[in-house]
Amino acid sequence: MPRLITAFSNPLVKQVRGLRDKKQRRLEGLFIAEGLRILTEAREAGFLPSILFFNGAEPPHPLLRTLIEQIEAADGDVIETNADILGKLSGKDNPGTVIGVFEAFPTGLDRLDRASADLWIVAQSLRDPGNLGTILRTGDAVGAGGLILVDDCVDPFSVEAVRATMGALFTQMIATAPWEEFLPWLRSAGGELIGTSLNATLDYQQPRYRKPAFILVGNEAQGLPPAYEGECDMLVKIPMRGKADSLNAAVATAVMAYEVINQWRR
């Protein structure tokens, strides 16, 4: 049976609210995901929250009922609460009706099975949680093996990033690594590193891409460091006809990724 918590001062409420802070997430190994859609995607991918908060004032959606049953069967903690508490936990004025607390999963490169896919996306110093989410969704759409976050990227377990992934966090593999660790891992087996850069002269539709392909995109404002561009097997540019310098990083990643899979599906 769900237990009822409606006090801001409740220690569990305080603890979960603390998970909006990165340090706290690291310390506890937990993160928050909101919304019935994302939690259902998670469940279908085999991830159940260890704690679930739901709004008791609303008639329970059938998917919420399924979720509650499965969490209870797994000895999880199901908590009935109200919109105020949910808003406090999510930091949103209009919180969803449900928030789940999940155990963070490990993000080492060693978890990636390189044989599982022909295409991988590598993002370097990506700072925007919305871009991270969008790129992860793109990775899902193009059948990428996963997203590798190199150097100082936004935390994929932040509330904003999880929200932006729309559930792809649970269906796509994510790894994090500094460049010094990523590069030897990459070179330990076959695969071409394809950098997208404003400095490149090669049009992105010119090369014939080979499998496996690792698409590398740089920071939103700076692009890739020159030294990293130097390590790429190929440096390509997406043509831009406009006055502004650059496509959004997530858009550039998607345009590049679709070119690669379009070549392969011909």
Binding site for its own copies (CB under 8 A): 41, 44-45, 130, 133-134, 137-143, 166-168, 171-172, 205, 238-244, 246-248, 250-251, 254-255, 258, 261-262, 265
Closer of 177 and 250 to its own copies (Cβ):
250
Residue for token digits 């999940």?
A: 102
Closer of 134 and 176 to its own copies (Cβ):
134
Closer of 8 and 258 to its own copies (Cβ):
258
Closer of 56 and 130 to its own copies (Cβ):
130
Closer of 11 and 242 to its own copies (Cβ):
242
* C-alpha distances in Å from residue 177, one per residue of 20, 38, 99, 129: 22, 26, 29, 17
Least gap, CB of 131 to its own copies (angstroms): 9
Least gap, CB of 19 to its own copies (angstroms): 20
Least gap, CB of 253 to its own copies (angstroms): 8
* Spatial distance between the Cα atoms of 26 and 90, rounded to a whole number of angstroms: 18
Closer of 24 and 263 to its own copies (Cβ):
263
Report phi then psi at 110, rounded to 5. -65, -15
Least gap, CB of 244 to its own copies (angstroms): 5
Helices 129-142 and 249-264: crossing angle, nearest 10°? 10
Least gap, CB of 235 to its own copies (angstroms): 18
Q: Please give the structure tokens belonging to residue 239.
A: 């043509």
* Spatial distance between the Cα atoms of 98 and 198, rounded to a whole number of angstroms: 42
3-state secondary structure at position 245: coil
Q: Please give the structure tokens belonging to residue 55.
A: 């709004």
* Spatial distance between the Cα atoms of 154 and 233, rounded to a whole number of angstroms: 26
Residue for token digits 């891409």?
A: 209
Least gap, CB of 254 to its own copies (angstroms): 4
3-state secondary structure at position 27: helix
Neighbours of 77 (CB within 10 A): 16
Closer of 78 and 255 to its own copies (Cβ):
255
Least gap, CB of 96 to its own copies (angstroms): 13
Cβ pair 58, 84 in contact under 8 A: no
